[in-house]
Amino acid sequence: MTDDQRINELLKRNGIQPGSERELAYLEEELGVSREEVQAATTAVGHDPEKVERYLRDRTGQHGPA
């Protein structure tokens, strides 16, 4: 297995899948951001769902759940 395959497997198990329609649609609807903004967030902070959501909330000025 190549390094790229290992990375993709880890992303599938542990984070946002770059092409996952469900994950992208959730973030778009929940935070009111575009698909491009979600993709930019994954580029900036990686594919960890919590980091992506925090990044987007910070950028949009939204606060997470109390």
* Domain residue spans of the chain: 3-60
pLDDT in tens, 3-49: 666 655 655 665 666 557 787 788 888 889 998 898 888 889 988 88
Instruction: Check: pTM over 0.85? Answer yes or no.
Output: no
Residues 6+ apart with CB under 8 A from 46: 15, 52
For the chain, how far is it from start to end, CA to CA, in angstroms? 42
Q: Which is more confident, 23 or 51?
A: 51
At residue 9, the pLDDT reads 65
